[in-house]
Amino acid sequence: MSEIMICDKCKNIICMQAFTTTSCERCGKDIVTGHIPGYRICIDCARYSGDCQQCGENIEDNEVK
């Protein structure tokens, strides 16, 4: 099972079941997901910055509040 970093807002989005490939907005790596819309940020960049893979919002700072 692949680890994902998703904020609470994006956990509840409605998405279509379909394989899609997007490119990470930060490093350019291809990201394959099983839904549309695809992730904006790859897991490596999300872990490094603490941001949501779907929307790019910082997760770790919000959890501390």
12-50 confidence digits (pLDDT tens): 988 899 999 999 999 999 999 999 999 999 999 999 999
- Can you give the residue ranges of every domain in the chain? 8-64
Average pLDDT over residues 43-65: 84
Instruction: Write out the E strands in the chain.
Output: 16-23, 30-36
Kindly report the pTM of this predicted structure: 0.81
Q: Is 13 helix (H, G, I), strand (E, B) or coil?
A: coil
Dist. CA 21–CA 5, nearest whole Å: 17
In the DSSP assignment, the letter for residue 59 is S
Q: How far is CA 38 from CA 5, 22, 23, 27, 64, in A?
A: 13, 6, 9, 16, 27
